Amino acid sequence: MKEKNREPLFHIVKRDALPWYKSLGIRFVAILLALILCGIITTITTGINPLQVYQSIVLGAFGSVRKTWVTFQNIAILLLIALALTPAFKMKFWNIGGEGQVLVGAMASAAIMIYGKNLPSWAMYALCPVAGVAAGLATTGKIPFVVTYAVFGSLRMCEMIRQEICYTNLNVKIACSHGGLTPANDGASHQAIEDMGVLRTIPNMTVIQPADYVSARKLVRAAAETYGPMFLRFTRDAVPVIYDEDAEFTIGKANKLREGKDVALIAVGDTVRLAIEAAKVLHEQGIEARVLDMHTIKPLDTEAVNACIADIGKIVTVEDHNILNALGSAVCERVAEAGQGIVRRIGVQDQFGESAPYERLLAKNGITVENIIAQAKSIL
């Protein structure tokens, strides 16, 4: 038996363009009919004069300067939400999380206003939308990368990072240049010597510092492909290329650059090159040094550290960071738990930096090839 084709109950078709006055008239009539219908329902259900209700609505929105200001503020927020949702709708995506995204962004902005009250106005205006946008984007499945100086992206934003990103375990990446002493002549105010240590203590946070261009590019990609809050620290100045293009990197796994049986040199970031140079000199002197690029401070590659403890038992850590609470401290924690081994820490000697050339600041803190060699020999 042949089935009958059923016509749909409703047809939705695109209407031809109307003159502006007809279009405006349709909208006016629609609003008027809505007001009449709502007035009838109000009268039936409450017995109140609908004109009094409408008067209360108008006075509630525009009855004073303060109320008018709040109304236009809310209008602006709704218009921005509509603007943000428009691209998704144009791409045929239905976004039902607009309210939550707005709330998360508002919380991030409010946190900056509360905890960053000592910031200058221009910094407040810049950081509020950045933090709000990053948090809001993360709730939609996007992978926001917040990029700024390390001292701002870690210490100035620490409270927001803890509350709005790590506590909620949002997929936000904080990628900061000018880590450690590399701001050099900019002085102590711009030298982030505590950033990795501070962020390392926050739950859910991963802390990474690449050693060169190749590792930076590949670790950034790995960070984008791995869920969770991450802090990626970079230097300001150019550094020598250490790795070949085919080198592989895994977050949380150290890269062994040189094998050795006498001493282990564990370095991070731009100090990896110094450890490699020191190992070459030690080799010429008959001392074989194992060199590890511990590009991930958290989670630490405990397996690699345990191997250094078991095979060698003598470790020198090297970092452009305060010797407290970053690479050196993380390795010492593992050595203490193992109950064996000797560690010498090379880094910023728990003192603020100053305005001077980068190499001079490194030398002042003993972050040099010569001191690495000396510390290695001191524990043989």
pLDDT of residue 17: 74
Q: Does a structural domain hold residue 128?
A: yes
Q: Does a structural domain hold residue 248?
A: no
Distance CA 129, CA 142 (A): 16
For the chain, list residues with pLDDT below 50: none
pLDDT of residue 22: 83
pLDDT of residue 331: 96
CB 322 within 8 A of CB 347: yes
Co-location of 156 and 219 in the same domain: yes
The CB-side HSE value for 362 (13 A sphere, CA atoms) comes to: 18
pLDDT of residue 223: 95
Peptide bond into 299 cis (omega under 30): yes
Q: Does a structural domain hold residue 37?
A: no
Distance CA 133, CA 142 (A): 11
The first and second tokens of residue 218, run together, are 């590949």
Boundary residue ending a domain (233, 266, 296): 233
Closest CA to 210 of 218, 201, 202: 218
Co-location of 144 and 226 in the same domain: yes
Distance CA 88, CA 101 (A): 14
Co-location of 264 and 372 in the same domain: yes
This prediction has a pTM of 0.67
pLDDT of residue 134: 67
Co-location of 262 and 340 in the same domain: yes
pLDDT of residue 93: 60
Q: Does a structural domain hold residue 290?
A: yes
| Cα dihedral 53/54/55/56 (nearest 10) | 50
Distance CA 155, CA 350 (A): 16
Kindly report the number of other CB atoms within 10 A of residue 30's CB atom: 10
Supply the CATH number for residue 102's domain: 3.40.50.970
Distance CA 250, CA 29 (A): 64
233 membership: H or E segment, kind and range:
strand 230-233
Closest CA to 77 of 122, 24, 132: 132
Q: Does a structural domain hold residue 23?
A: no
Co-location of 283 and 206 in the same domain: no
Co-location of 185 and 265 in the same domain: no
Q: Which amino acid is at 352?
A: F
pLDDT of residue 96: 55
pLDDT of residue 131: 63
Domain that holds residue 270: 255-378
Distance CA 177, CA 220 (A): 13
Instruction: Give the pairing of strands 263-267 and 289-293.
Output: parallel
Q: Does a structural domain hold residue 82?
A: no
Co-location of 263 and 225 in the same domain: no
